[in-house]
Amino acid sequence: MTNMYKTEAIGKVSKEAPFEKITIGREGTSNNDVEIDVKYCGFCHTDIHLVNNDWGFTTFPSVGGHEVAGVAVKVGSNVKDIKVGDHVGVGYFLDSCLCCEYCENNDEINCIKGVTLTSCGQIQHGRVKTDNGNYTYGGWSKKMTVDRRFLSKIPKTYPLEKAGPASCAGVTMYTPLNEHGACKGGLKIGIAGLGGLGQMGVLLSKAMGNHVTVISSSDGKKEMAKELGADHYVSQNEEEAMKSLEKSMDLIIDTIPASHDINPPLNLVKKKGTYVVVGPAPEPFKVAAFKLIADQVRITGTLTGGLKMTQECIDFMAENNIVQKTEMINSLQEMNCASKEIIKGNSSGVRYVIDMEKLLS
Amino acid sequence: MTNMYKTEAIGKVSKEAPFEKITIGREGTSNNDVEIDVKYCGFCHTDIHLVNNDWGFTTFPSVGGHEVAGVAVKVGSNVKDIKVGDHVGVGYFLDSCLCCEYCENNDEINCIKGVTLTSCGQIQHGRVKTDNGNYTYGGWSKKMTVDRRFLSKIPKTYPLEKAGPASCAGVTMYTPLNEHGACKGGLKIGIAGLGGLGQMGVLLSKAMGNHVTVISSSDGKKEMAKELGADHYVSQNEEEAMKSLEKSMDLIIDTIPASHDINPPLNLVKKKGTYVVVGPAPEPFKVAAFKLIADQVRITGTLTGGLKMTQECIDFMAENNIVQKTEMINSLQEMNCASKEIIKGNSSGVRYVIDMEKLLS
């Protein structure tokens, strides 16, 4: 017995092809599922890497989208805490083993067997099925069916068109802030880089009651840092200003996606402080043993977070009216333009969001 | 008013000079002090770097020694918990500001203003004075005077001639084990490198009830690992054996003092596990952002520990009969020979200990 259904989506049939409308098949597999009318879905650099097979594991046709915001339209009989009409979100992944030590600790993103990515991910674990049998189609589609465990509830008070990035950039920044004590406030926090992740980091850290310094090498970001509410801005190029902040911060989150020397911002971390890498810099960081020994800084990283963190993050963002600047995409033409902007390096920090209903109408 | 006294010591008058007997002046500065007859003192590579001015901050004549084990012979009126005849130890430092957040947290080694090194350290903070007025003479001497706060008590049940290394190698390994949850037992721990620090790491981790794997690139260490009680040994050169241990360990302590690639042992750490560097490898480590993001391993370091940790460590070693192999040095000639051995790289892992009474008699 199958309950496969057809739905429209935005996909690519090859790396070189433009984005186009395609029809895909998804299956609702159990009474634990929620069927979603997708209203909005983010569009970011990760999507482009995935749909273009930049990382070598994508099969075509590929459908991107991992910052999904929609409305529940069918709810499986076992799902007690979501009802038809509720707003729901899907993030970077939509399945995991649910029985390893990480899954059991609500930290599904670290599943030992690996999560199933929402877009272009290899299907395993059994909670998601598509007509190709092997890989997932992302959220750039009219409908999705997702196991309740891998959904978050979006408060109705939160603007749905802003909610997509919360499931990705939001939780990516919320998780290390939570893990390293920033939720209680009172820490000195540095945010290195001020793209989409960095901006989210400033907004969240400030709302939690911390003192926030933006560290950037591009002076154009100074004004933006101020607008976002950062307490302080320091340019990495100003040696004296950097010197004056040495060993002053409890926590730095490095969101810089380009190759860079980690040591100038690392020197701003207090002894025993924490440096979290979230930006996928391509070249390895170099860190001296002496630095680790003398200052006992802790260097680590974050790859989004589990569903518990995601829900906490969205609730926190709703309570504190945290929204990111977004730019709406309403047509395939706009999507192809935005794609070029993103590949060039979107320094404005605006998050692109696709209005799925308009685009697929 | 001064109570400066003269005492014999082993020093160097220049980098090129051999070790020789010299006379130095120390002052007992307050009622908080304990005067110590030094019985034994360790002799390790750090001593050689210090007395030879390898690190550029040493003034001659220089007196080494930072693993001191002796007997209290005079006790200041404010000192209530040490009495004449007690066994006491001095480690890597003997003064700090005592008012910064680290000192207040019994973590004096991280003093914001910097600790005063026991040997060749710049005098500050006011709790230690010498006849040169500027820098400290280490423990290679008949007598020392040290503020009670910077002493540890050595249980009488513990062999005094083995106690010196506890204040240095012991606490250097005990501190990260304690900080990362190994004291409760039940963790999977890797010890990379099996010199003096590595051996101490195996003994401590096993006594705490953990599963211990020695990671080495020198096959000669396999037998030693077994003798020390390690559960498992893996050679870094055996790709398959290393592969089979990937992401299996909660904590790795890297004691390797030579330049090396951190990534093969780092790959043995579980997601969210911890990698602590204690070996002063000269060349920077290279770590990919992707590794930090995907596995969220925490990379940090340790530089010995505070006095609370030191006391806990010595008590733990006494309770568990943990002693390191030591070789006794009884003459200047033996000391000059050992010096050459240490500089060549003491792969036997034996700790050299000077019998100060014999050597200065």
**pLDDT tens by residue, A78-114:** 999 999 999 999 999 999 999 999 999 999 999 999 9
Higher pLDDT, B79 or A258: B79
| Each residue's pLDDT tens digit, A38-70 | 999 999 888 999 999 998 999 999 999 999 999
For an interface test with A, the pick among B272, B293, B302 (most A C-beta atoms closer than 10 Å) comes out as: B293
Cβ distance of A287 and B290 shorter than 8 Å: no
How many residue contacts between A and B have a Cβ separation below 8 Å? 96
Residue B282's nearest CA partner among A293, A296, A295, A262 is A293
Pairing of β B87-90 and β B152-153: antiparallel
In tens, the pLDDT along A166-218 reads 888 899 999 999 999 999 999 999 999 998 899 999 999 999 999 999 999 88
Nearest CB partner across the interface for A110, out of B272, B289, B299 = B272
Question: Which amino acid, one-letter code, is at B272?
Answer: K
Which residues in chain B are contacts of A110 at CB distance < 8 A? 271-272, 296
pLDDT at residue A351 in the model: 87
A94/chain B closest Cα distance in angstroms: 17
What residues form DSSP beta bridges with A146?
Answer: A34
Whether A293 sits inside 8 A of B282 (CB atoms) is no
d(CA B282, CA B290): 24
Diameter of chain B by CA atoms? Answer: 69
What pLDDT, on the 0 to 100 scale, is given for residue B1?
Answer: 45
Tens-place pLDDT, residues A21-35: 999 999 987 899 999
Confidence of residue A346 (pLDDT cuts 50, 70, 90): low
CA–CA dist A336, A332 (Å, integer): 6
- Helices of type H across B189-331: 196-207, 221-228, 239-244, 263-266, 289-295, 307-319
Could you report the predicted ipTM of this complex, rounded to two decimals? 0.91
- pTM metric for this prediction: 0.93
User: How many Å lie between the alpha carbon of A120 and the closest alpha carbon of chain B?
Assistant: 18
Q: How far apart are CA B91 and CA B311, in angstroms?
A: 11
Q: Which residues of B touch A266 (CB under 8 A)?
A: none
Under the banding of pLDDT at 50, 70 and 90, the label for residue A77 is very high
Q: Which of B39-43, B249-253, B288-292, B348-352 has the lowest mean pLDDT?
A: B348-352
Which residues of A sit within 8 Å Cβ distance of B?
A: 102, 110, 112, 247, 271-272, 277-282, 284-303
Tens digit of each residue's pLDDT (9 = 90 or more) over B198-223: 999 999 999 999 999 999 988 789 99
Smallest CA–CA distance, residue A207 to chain B, in Å, is 25
Tokens describing residue A301: 């990283």
B259-279 per-residue burial string, b: 16 or more CB within 10 A, e: under 16 = ebebebbbbbbbbbbbbbbbb
Question: According to DSSP H, which parts of chain A are helical?
Answer: 45-51, 101-104, 160-163, 169-179, 196-207, 221-228, 239-244, 263-266, 289-295, 307-319, 332-344, 356-360
Whole-angstrom distance, CA of residue A207 vs CA of residue B50: 49
Residue A166 pLDDT: 86
Q: Considering only residues A254 and A349, tell me which one the structure prediction assigns the higher pLDDT.
A: A254
| Model confidence at A1: pLDDT above 50 | no
- Considering only CB atoms, B293 lies closest to which of A247, A292, A301, namely A301
Backbone angles phi, psi at A234, to 5 degrees: -135, 135
* CB nearest A301 (choices: B279, B281, B289): B289
Residues of A whose CB is below 8 A from B285: 286-289
What tens digit of pLDDT does each residue of A301-345 get?
Answer: 999 999 999 999 999 999 999 998 899 999 999 999 999 888 887
Query: What distance in Å separates residue B70's CA from the closest CA in chain A?
Result: 28
Going by their DSSP bridges, the two strands B129-130 and B143-147 should be labelled as unpaired
Query: Which residue ranges form the domains of chain A, and what is each CATH number?
Result: 4-168+323-360 (3.90.180.10), 170-301 (3.40.50.720)
Identify the band that residue B148 occupies on the pLDDT scale cut at 50, 70 and 90. Answer: very high
CB < 8 Å to A249, chain B: none
Question: For B305-333, what is the mean pLDDT?
Answer: 95
Tell me which chain B residue has its CA closest to the CA of residue A290.
B280
State whether B298 and A299 contact (CB < 8 Å): yes
Lowest mean pLDDT: which of A222-231, A347-356, B160-169? A347-356
